[in-house]
């Protein structure tokens, strides 16, 4: 009866920085059905915020475009995809390096991808120059129940 994934949601919004809060809160609300801890939810909100900011200020720069988010729940794992049809990244390896930024004038720290990597379990970055970028991140949610079991077993 169950499909390939247990639940899914999609969001589309304009590439404006005032949508960053909306995007991370919407994803967090969706993930809440897996009963995450406050720390897990905070990690997810931060990772989403980083990916969405990248799409808005790097992908679309000053232009208006659409940022898309898809979130899927498989068992106790969430997969979040943030994509844009912006200018793309020519050197993904360089972009993912800690402290690398192409926008120091905006006081960007170059820590976006590093934070996504360390706050999520897995991240894949796909990009085609001139077509856009897609970031896919996964995180396993250790439900309260499981944490309690670990605690009792310790």
Active-site residue set:
50, 54, 108
Quick check: 139 binds other proteins (CB under 8 A)?
A: no
Kindly tell me which of 101 and 128 has the beta carbon lying closer to other proteins.
101
Quick check: 143 binds other proteins (CB under 8 A)?
A: no
Quick check: 64 binds other proteins (CB under 8 A)?
A: no
Which residue from 42, 76, 136, 142 is in contact with other proteins, where contact means CB under 8 A?
A: 42
As a whole number of angstroms, the distance between CA 126 and CA 118 comes to 18
Quick check: 86 binds other proteins (CB under 8 A)?
A: no
Alpha carbon 14 to its chain's center: 17
| DSSP-derived secondary structure for the chain | ---SSSEEEEEEEES-GGGHHHHHHHHHHHHGGG---HHHHHHHHHHHHHHHHIIIIIISTTS--EEEEEEEEETTEEEEEEEE-SS--S-HHHHHSTT--S-GGGT--S-HHHHHHHHSSEEEEEEETTTEEEEEEEEE---HHHHHHHHHH-
Which residue from 114, 136, 142, 143 is in contact with other proteins, where contact means CB under 8 A?
A: 114
Shortest distance, CB of residue 36 to other proteins, whole angstroms?
Answer: 13
- Piece of 1-9, 61-69, 98-106, 141-149 that binds other proteins (CB under 8 A): 98-106
Residues that bind other proteins (CB under 8 A): 17-18, 20-21, 24, 39, 42-43, 45-46, 49-50, 53, 56-57, 98-99, 106-109, 111-112, 114-115, 118
């Amino acid at each position: 009866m169950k499909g390939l994934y247990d639940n899914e949601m999609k969001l589309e919004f304009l590439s404006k920085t005032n949508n960053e809060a909306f995007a991370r809160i919407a994803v967090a609300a969706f993930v809440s059905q897996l009963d995450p801890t406050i720390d897990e939810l905070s990690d997810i909100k931060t990772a989403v915020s980083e990916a969405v900011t990248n799409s808005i200020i790097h992908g679309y720069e000053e232009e208006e475009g659409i940022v898309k988010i898809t979130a899927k729940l498989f068992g106790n794992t969430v997969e979040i995809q943030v994509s844009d049809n912006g200018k793309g990244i020519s050197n993904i390896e360089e972009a993912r390096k800690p402290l690398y930024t192409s926008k120091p004038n905006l006081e960007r720290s170059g820590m976006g991808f590093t934070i996504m990597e360390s706050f999520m379990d897995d991240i894949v970055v796909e990009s085609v120059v001139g077509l856009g970028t897609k970031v896919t991140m996964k995180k396993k949610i250790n439900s309260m129940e499981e944490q309690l079991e670990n605690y009792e077993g310790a």
